[in-house]
């Protein structure tokens, strides 16, 4: 009888140590030490033994029962821990991962021109401007005539472009959106119009045939140059995260009167003079001015009642200044190493 008990103990402990499933371990417990288990039925049959044997075998089978129960409990713990470790190693997410890391940046990201465009849209919408769109293939009317640039005006030479066979053109500036803005809105209104523009140009480090602008226009009662300066300074302060000094120089554009070139204090040298500002301390940033009465008229607005300002901000230039990019051709190069830096 004792041998039989030892054999059961040996086989059961062996089975337990090889078992890797909680359910199977439970089944072993039922088969061996359960109510109808092997060991239990031996204990039940003790009554047939002599009193001395009964005592020894009884003691032994109780010890074995305890050993088996302990072995099952320990093995269960091991199996549970192993399952958990397995799950943790398969399902882990590294919440401390840097958002700029290789792992996440492979998911895609916005081109620096889109990033700056979105930033400018946010700044202007927070100041009550609506964002307008316009077609990249424009009519001569929207791109030139309505902007006080009639057919043989010399200003057209500055903005040579690509023409379609049906006499439309790739817009040379987002100012075409101004005209659409005036047609769509009753004054007073404030709009910006971001977009891609085209010029028929020989390309070099600072000239490209395709680039990006954001047009801005505000029409209201008694708009003056000081309103223009206020909005430009607010924009620049938001973009560059500091107070930026500006100055206006006269500039000629047929659709504004007076027209200006707005310069900013060179951010590289702080105005002392360096190679970026060509030792002048100033960098040309954006053309602007008060909307010409003829332009208001072609937009159906009475220039005796209303006035406005307009500006055209070049996005490529802005990104180039912000990041120290020395060649405008990088933007459209399609070189992944370029865009991956932002």
Q: What are the residues binding ligand PHE (CB under 6 A)?
A: 173, 175, 253, 256, 259, 287-289, 310-312
Whether residue 216 contacts residue 127, with contact meaning beta carbons closer than 8 Å, is answered with: no
Full strand arrangement of the beta sheet holding 210-220: 130-131, 189-198, 210-220, 307-314, 282-291, 256-265, 246-250
Cα–Cα distance for residue pair 94/143, rounded to 1 Å:
52
Minimum CB distance to ligand PHE smaller for 16 or for 192: 192
CB of 208 to ligand PHE, least distance (A): 13
**Closest alpha carbon to 148 in 20, 52, 253:** 253
Cα–Cα distance for residue pair 178/193, rounded to 1 Å:
8
CB of 270 to ligand PHE, least distance (A): 27
CB of 104 to ligand PHE, least distance (A): 37
Which three-class secondary structure state does DSSP give residue 159?
Answer: coil
Minimum CB distance to ligand PHE smaller for 5 or for 189: 189
Minimum CB distance to ligand PHE smaller for 170 or for 256: 256
Minimum CB distance to ligand PHE smaller for 109 or for 252: 252
Minimum CB distance to ligand PHE smaller for 212 or for 311: 311
Residue with tokens 């062996």: 14
| Nearest 10 degrees: Cα torsion 261, 199, 167, 259 | 0
Residue with tokens 């849209």: 121
**Closest alpha carbon to 332 in 108, 172, 111:** 111
CB of 159 to ligand PHE, least distance (A): 7
Looking only at the bridges linking them, the beta strands covering 189-198 and 130-131 are: parallel
Minimum CB distance to ligand PHE smaller for 37 or for 195: 195
Q: Residue 108 — φ and ψ, nearest 5°?
A: 105, 155
For 230-255, b where at least 16 C-beta lie within 10 A, e where not — what string?
ebbbebbeebeeeebeeebeebebbb
CB of 260 to ligand PHE, least distance (A): 8
Minimum CB distance to ligand PHE smaller for 129 or for 253: 253
Minimum CB distance to ligand PHE smaller for 27 or for 227: 227
Beta strands per DSSP E along 2-114: none
CB of 338 to ligand PHE, least distance (A): 25
CB of 213 to ligand PHE, least distance (A): 6
Tokens describing residue 118: 């979105």
Alpha-carbon dihedral sign for residues 235, 239, 242, 246 = negative
Residue number of the CB atom closest to ligand PHE: 312
Looking only at the bridges linking them, the beta strands covering 210-220 and 130-131 are: unpaired
CB of 149 to ligand PHE, least distance (A): 10
């Amino acid at each position: 009888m004792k041998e039989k008990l030892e054999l059961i103990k040996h086989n059961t402990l062996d089975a337990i140590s090889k078992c890797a499933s909680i359910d199977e371990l439970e089944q072993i417990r039922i088969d061996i030490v359960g109510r109808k288990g092997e060991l239990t039925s031996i204990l039940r049959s003790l009554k047939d033994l002599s009193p001395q044997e009964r005592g020894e075998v009884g003691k032994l089978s109780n010890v074995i029962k305890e050993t088996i129960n302990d072995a099952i409990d320990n093995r269960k713990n091991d199996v549970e821990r192993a399952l958990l470790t397995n799950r943790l190693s398969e399902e882990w997410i590294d919440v401390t991962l840097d958002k700029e890391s290789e792992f996440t940046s492979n998911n895609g990201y916005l081109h620096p021109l889109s990033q700056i465009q979105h930033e400018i849209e946010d700044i202007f919408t927070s100041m009550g401007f609506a964002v307008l769109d316009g077609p990249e293939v424009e009519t001569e009317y929207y791109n030139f005539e309505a902007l006080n640039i009639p057919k043989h005006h010399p200003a057209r030479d500055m903005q040579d472009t690509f023409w379609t066979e049906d006499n439309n053109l790739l817009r040379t500036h987002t100012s075409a959106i101004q005209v659409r803005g005036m047609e769509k809105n009753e004054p007073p209104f404030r709009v910006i119009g971001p977009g891609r523009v085209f010029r028929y140009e020989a390309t070099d480090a600072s000239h490209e045939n395709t680039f990006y602008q954001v047009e801005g226009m505000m029409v209201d009662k008694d708009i003056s140059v000081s309103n223009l300066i206020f909005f430009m300074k607010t924009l620049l302060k938001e973009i560059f995260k500091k107070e930026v000094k500006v100055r206006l120089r006269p500039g000629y554009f047929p659709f504004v009167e007076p027209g200006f070139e707005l310069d900013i204090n060179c951010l590289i040298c702080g105005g002392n003079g360096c190679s970026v500002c060509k030792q002048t301390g100033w960098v040309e940033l954006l053309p602007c001015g008060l909307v010409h009465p003829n332009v208001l008229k072609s937009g159906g607005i009475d220039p005796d009642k209303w006035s406005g300002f307009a500006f055209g901000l070049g996005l490529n230039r802005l990104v180039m200044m912000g990041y120290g990019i020395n060649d405008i051709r990088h933007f459209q190069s399609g070189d992944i190493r370029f865009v991956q830096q932002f």
